[in-house]
């Protein structure tokens, strides 16, 4: 791949100012597949100032201009979606089937959702004699994660472009190569120089420099709650807007009238998608106490259908975790679950049988878990789930809400109205009823320590707009 040791700044691939580099490791083979340059504060400043210069003109473009630009980007993305899929498989271990059907196409979905929102959004409204004008917030910094890498880049870049913002992107240094392909797509689509800039680096250096930079008007961050707190602290000195999509420990309430075979099988397999590395995974599965034995048997059978192996092998459904650090964290938490009294229903510590290289983890199910255990409190970010017993519906709601997070939740029942009633009592930004999938024109985001702000569609577009009141504009 070209441009791995360069940054995309002011419409060109340029050499970094600093000299630090980092190897990108294929998590399935543990072999280096590329080396990227790592930026420093000077690289950040160069990119930010390019975005600042570009904002004067891009922030004043018309709706039609930005629609045409997004259409060209979409065309280019469609041509290179297979390149993105293969890149994501190599750098973060997503199975080929997942990379081609979900990981890479998700960026295209966000581009189309932003385009639809741009076409429909009313940028001016009248309130009595006042005109309210919605204007782009300005220069944005995007700090994105490795687990759904191009999904999270596109979820920020697409609505920001639709709003008329300029930007600097710092992708995860763990899985940065897809961002290079994305930048090439935008360049080929004719994004004006300085509107989109890409600088690789780590959080403490590039991420902090972006968050603190006085010429950045907004930071949008996706990642851990711990890192999000640091971003907010760094941004506070310049009182810039901060939007965060952080961690989660989502509860999945299986009500007593649900079809247990279908629901538990579906949702156990849902947790292990992407090797469990999804912030909205419903890993706390709440089961009526008198149906726990049935649930254990169904969950065990479901996990045993998973095929863990190389992401490019036919039939693989669960690939490796993204890195050695992530592997070590998940192994530690599985051991903690055992030490604190959880019963292993399936899986456990160490790699699956026959896999000696790669950051592979056994899909793991715990029973006899209470909501005060570490594995029920901490975000594991691996293919690990726990069955937690509840006594009645009120108890299930109490347990579900007993968490510092509030990103997502799931409720299943044969009675749709009953499921709706429970959903409205969950303190989360999203709830899936009876397995309903995400809708990319609906808001994505959470409560409490799962962050603030919303992404996707019209709601994502609104995050990048300021409201200006012009009093007396309609006085006649």
Enzyme catalytic residues:
245, 279
Q: How far is CA 450 from CA 78, 247, 404, 413, in A?
A: 32, 5, 8, 26
Calpha distance 286→165 (Å, rounded)? 43
Torsion angles phi and psi, residue 463, rounded to 5: -60, -25
**Which residues fall within 8 angstroms of residue 330, CB to CB, at 6 or more apart?**
321, 361, 380, 381, 382, 384
| Chain position carrying tokens 């992401």 | 311
| Chain position carrying tokens 């310049």 | 238
Torsion angles phi and psi, residue 344, rounded to 5: -75, 120
The per-residue b/e assignment along 195-214, b for 16 or more CB within 10 angstroms, e otherwise, is: bbbbbbbbbebbbbbbbbbe
**Which residues fall within 8 angstroms of residue 62, CB to CB, at 6 or more apart?**
none
**Residue 449 has what DSSP assignment?**
G
Q: How far is CA 189 from CA 79, 122, 186, 272, 425, in A?
A: 12, 26, 5, 36, 45
* Structural contact between residues 451 and 245, judged by C-beta atoms closer than 8 angstroms: yes
149-163 helix and 177-188 helix, angle to the nearest 10 degrees: 30
Calpha distance 252→285 (Å, rounded)? 5
Q: Residue 332: left if φ>0, alpha if ψ -120 to 50, beta else—which one?
A: alpha
């Amino acid at each position: 791949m070209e441009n791995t040791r360069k940054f995309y700044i002011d419409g060109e691939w340029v050499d970094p100012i600093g000299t630090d580099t980092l190897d990108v490791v294929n998590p399935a083979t543990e072999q280096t597949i590329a080396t990227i340059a790592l930026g420093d504060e000077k690289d950040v400043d160069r990119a930010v100032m390019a975005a600042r210069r570009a904002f004067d003109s891009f922030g004043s473009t018309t709706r039609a201009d930005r629609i045409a630009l997004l259409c060209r980007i979409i065309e280019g993305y469609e041509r290179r979606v297979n390149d993105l899929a293969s890149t994501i498989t190599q750098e973060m271990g997503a199975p080929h089937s997942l990379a081609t059907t979900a990981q890479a196409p998700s960026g295209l979905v966000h581009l189309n959702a932003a385009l639809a929102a741009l076409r429909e959004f009313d940028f001016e409204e009248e309130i009595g004699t006042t005109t309210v004008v919605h204007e782009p917030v300005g220069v944005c910094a995007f700090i994105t994660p490795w687990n759904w890498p191009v999904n999270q880049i596109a979820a920020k870049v697409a609505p920001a472009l639709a709003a008329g913002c300029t930007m600097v992107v710092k992708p995860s240094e763990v899985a940065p190569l897809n961002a290079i392909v994305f930048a090439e797509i935008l360049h080929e689509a004719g994004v004006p120089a300085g509107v989109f800039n890409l600088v690789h680096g780590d959080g403490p250096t590039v991420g902090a420099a972006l968050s603190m930079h006085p010429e950045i008007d907004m930071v949008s961050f996706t990642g851990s709650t711990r890192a999000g707190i640091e971003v907010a602290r760094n941004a506070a000195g310049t009182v810039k807007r901060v939007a965060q999509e952080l961690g989660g420990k989502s509860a999945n309430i299986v009500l007593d009238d649900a079809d247990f075979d279908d629901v538990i099988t579906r949702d156990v397999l849902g947790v292990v998608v992407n090797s469990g590395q999804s912030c909205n995974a419903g890993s706390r599965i709440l089961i009526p106490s008198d149906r726990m034995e049935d649930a254990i048997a169904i969950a065990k059978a479901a996990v045993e259908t998973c095929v863990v192996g190389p992401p490019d092998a036919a039939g693989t459904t669960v690939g490796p975790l993204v890195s050695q650090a992530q592997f070590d964290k998940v192994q530690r938490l599985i051991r903690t679950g055992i030490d604190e009294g959880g019963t292993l229903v399936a899986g456990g510590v160490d790699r699956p049988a026959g896999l000696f290289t790669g950051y592979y983890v056994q899909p793991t199910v715990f029973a006899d878990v209470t909501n005060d255990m570490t594995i029920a409190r901490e975000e594991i970010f691996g293919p690990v789930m726990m069955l937690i017993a509840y006594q009645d519906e009120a108890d299930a709601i109490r347990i579900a809400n007993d968490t510092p997070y509030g990103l997502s939740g799931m409720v299943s029942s044969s009675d749709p109205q009953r499921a709706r009633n429970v959903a409205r009592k969950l303190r989360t930004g999203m709830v899936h009823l009876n397995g309903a999938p995400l809708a990319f024109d609906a808001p994505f985001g959470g409560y409490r320590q799962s962050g603030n702000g919303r992404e996707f569609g019209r709601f994502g577009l609104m995050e990048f707009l300021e409201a200006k009141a012009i009093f007396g504009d309609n006085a006649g």
